[in-house]
Amino acid sequence: MGQIIPKLRQVDVELGKRKTVPEICKTLDISEQTYYRWRQKYGGMKPEMAKELKALQKENARLKKLLADQVLDMDILKEAAKGHW
């Protein structure tokens, strides 16, 4: 994500110079589909916001893994308890 925001800004600059999206995408070595997906997802986002989004996504993944581990532990304990009763 570190290069997406600067590339989107570069596209804006080049569009201001009357270049077309296909021309700009070719120079940036990205597909038009990638550009439009990035524009939809990150358009108008400042670099600090992009960093914060990335950090939140990383934390969310960590919490999901932690929850999955806890659910697995609970299932193991339930199975172990069935054998003792």
Domain ranges for the chain: 1-45, 57-85
Given a contact cutoff of 8 angstroms between Cβ atoms, the answer to whether 28 and 11 are in contact is yes
Instruction: Please tell me whether residue 45 adopts helix, strand or coil conformation.
Output: coil
Q: Which amino acid is at 61?
A: A
pTM: 0.57
What pLDDT sits at residue 85? Answer: 58
The tens digit of pLDDT for each residue in 17-72 reads 999 999 999 999 999 999 999 999 888 788 788 889 889 999 999 999 999 999 99
Residues 6 or more apart in contact with residue 41 via CB below 8 angstroms: none
